[in-house]
Chains A and B, each alone.
Chain A
Amino acid sequence: ASRQRRNENPKAAPATSARNLSEYLKQFVFPQNECELHSFRLSFSQLRWDRWIIAPHRYSPQFCRGECPRALGHRYGSPVHTMVQTLIYERLDPSVPRPSCVPAAYSPLSVLTIEPDGSIVYKEYEDMIATKCTCR
């Protein structure tokens, strides 16, 4: 089409077609801050909880942040519903939120604490550290 337009009107700036093309391609470019796992380390002394949480001294819960790309494919293990949600957001109703970047798997954490009665307890808690992200 751009060649035909050039033949008809050779003075037309080629920039317009290039701009249309880049506009068109934009929808396939992967977002730079794509959904992925980010590290975050805290120590219980920062929260002043180290008086009764004896161990561990530091804790890395990790978290998920970033945009969910349109073409999810198998990369995030997302169900088909996620792509449907993206299409609804883009084509039917922008009030429907785009898919969110959330944890998909966790690992446990062992904690040693002092109880109010002075007894000491070692406990292993489920789902305390995010280990993988997904778009849902």
Chain B
Amino acid sequence: SPRSRGWEDSAEAPGFLAAPEDAANQLSAGLQLPQGEAPAHALLPPLLKVLHNRGPRGWHSEAPRLQPDSRALRYMKRLYRMSATRDGIPKAQRGRLYNTVRLFTPCWECEHRPAHLGKGDVHSVDFLFNLDRVTALEHLLKSVLLYSFDTSVPISSSITCMCHLSLKEHDFSSQVCPSISHSLAFSLHFDVRKRKWVEMDVTSFLQPLIAMNRRNVHMALNFTCLMGDPQGSTKLENAVNVTLVPPSLLLYLNDTSEQAYHRGSSLRHGRKSSSPLVDPPKGDRGQGNPQGKR
């Protein structure tokens, strides 16, 4: 409503309130606002204003949203259930600092298959993550690569994969091919039955890039997988042919912007009312308790 302050002044409404084209059309039809007229800008309620700010043609220029990977969606729904109640109230988890988690799937990946796929051959995959959605006010706390492997072998035992991850720097000034700036060798061990995600912490690996506000992260992964667990016997003849599902990149962030929820910040939570009077006693009207009237 025109009276609502706050978002009216700053186009800083929370991101998820930026409704896409159809909701905005519905709203503008309801408000009988001229489509895309500049003067209407001042009258727009915050929701439409956020849309309008997306450019002179507002929501029409909004490209349709790309649909996320279904596995990634399942993972994030599970993360949501662990972090908030059914009504969306954040759960108080001790020591939890993040108030934002972003999951990116690679915008492209290309697998270099060896000429003949012999046993124990090294697979190598290149993939690129675009981090444009990370804002300058979102500080990286932790980053994780989420692996999942497809194997055609219905095996009940576990698999061990030796991986070598390298970060490729694109020096666009010189046309030489990308140089490798960091590399990381690690082994992933997982039990195929559970087909769980296998998480690999790459925080120290990515920290410098995120700190430099790098928008594109180009990685190369070489891996070979053997049947069995690292303690047991993983002889080369146990090599198993697996296909790497393109990993997702998970960023745990602390959004320091005004609208984000800051745990334990005394300024915002539990502050006393500004009046000299103490907080009203239990059962006061403010708690919506009619019996508390008298």
Please tell me if the beta carbons of A122 and B80 are within 8 angstroms of each other in the complex: yes
How far, in Å, is A92 (CB) from chain B's closest CB? 22
How far, in Å, is A101 (CB) from chain B's closest CB? 9
Knowing A54-B77, A56-B84 touch, does A127 contact B286 (C-beta < 8 A)? no
Knowing A77-B275, A126-B268 touch, does A121 contact B23 (C-beta < 8 A)? no
Task: Judge whether B88 is part of the interface by a CB distance below 8 angstroms.
Answer: yes
Please tell me if the beta carbons of A35 and B285 are within 8 angstroms of each other in the complex: yes
Question: Bound complex: CA of A134 vs CA of B130, how far in Å?
Answer: 46
Number of B residues, CB within 8 Å of A = 62
Candidates A55, A123, A134; contact of B286 at CB < 8 Å: A134
Please tell me if the beta carbons of A126 and B80 are within 8 angstroms of each other in the complex: no
Interface residue ranges of B172-199 to A (CB < 8 Å):
none
Please tell me if the beta carbons of B66 and A116 are within 8 angstroms of each other in the complex: yes
Task: Judge whether A26 is part of the interface by a CB distance below 8 angstroms.
Answer: no
Instruction: Spot the interface stretch: B11-19, B119-127, B162-170, B219-227.
Output: B11-19
- A75-87 interface code vs B (CB 8 A; 1 in, 0 out): 1111110000000
Please tell me if the beta carbons of A124 and B65 are within 8 angstroms of each other in the complex: no
Please tell me if the beta carbons of A123 and B100 are within 8 angstroms of each other in the complex: yes
User: Interface on chain B toward A: helix, strand, loop, or mixed SS?
Assistant: loop
Question: Bound complex: CA of A119 vs CA of B286, how far in Å?
Answer: 40
Task: Judge whether A97 is part of the interface by a CB distance below 8 angstroms.
Answer: no
Task: Judge whether B101 is part of the interface by a CB distance below 8 angstroms.
Answer: yes
Task: Judge whether B259 is part of the interface by a CB distance below 8 angstroms.
Answer: yes
Task: Judge whether B68 is part of the interface by a CB distance below 8 angstroms.
Answer: yes
Note all chain B residues with C-beta closer than 8 A to A117.
Answer: 66, 107, 130, 132-133
Candidates B23, B286, B288; contact of A76 at CB < 8 Å: B286
Candidates B15, B68, B277, B285; contact of A118 at CB < 8 Å: B68
Knowing A117-B130, A118-B105 touch, does A56 contact B87 (C-beta < 8 A)? yes
Note all chain B residues with C-beta closer than 8 A to A125.
Answer: 14, 16, 259-261
- B98-131 interface code vs A (CB 8 A; 1 in, 0 out): 0111111101000000000000000000000010
Please tell me if the beta carbons of B68 and A119 are within 8 angstroms of each other in the complex: yes
Instruction: Spot the interface stretch: A1-9, A16-24, A104-112.
Output: A104-112
Knowing A108-B89, A110-B89, A122-B83 touch, does A37 contact B261 (C-beta < 8 A)? no
Interface residue ranges of A46-63 to B (CB < 8 Å):
47-49, 51-60
How far, in Å, is B209 (CB) from chain A's closest CB? 17
Knowing A114-B67, A132-B287 touch, does A120 contact B103 (C-beta < 8 A)? yes
Note all chain A residues with C-beta closer than 8 A to B276.
Answer: 79-80
Please tell me if the beta carbons of B277 and A36 are within 8 angstroms of each other in the complex: no
- Most B CB contacts (10 A, CB to CB) among A52, A58, A60 go to A52
Please tell me if the beta carbons of A48 and B87 are within 8 angstroms of each other in the complex: no
Task: Judge whether B8 is part of the interface by a CB distance below 8 angstroms.
Answer: no
Note all chain B residues with C-beta closer than 8 A to A107.
Answer: 89
Write the residues of chain A forming the contact surface with B, with a CB cutoff of 8 angstroms. 30, 34-38, 47-49, 51-60, 74-80, 104, 107-129, 132-134
**23 A/B residue pairs, CB under 8 Å, sorted by A:** A30-B293, A48-B26, A52-B65, A55-B77, A56-B86, A74-B277, A75-B284, A75-B285, A77-B277, A78-B275, A79-B276, A80-B275, A112-B77, A114-B67, A115-B65, A115-B133, A119-B68, A120-B73, A121-B101, A122-B83, A122-B102, A126-B268, A127-B259
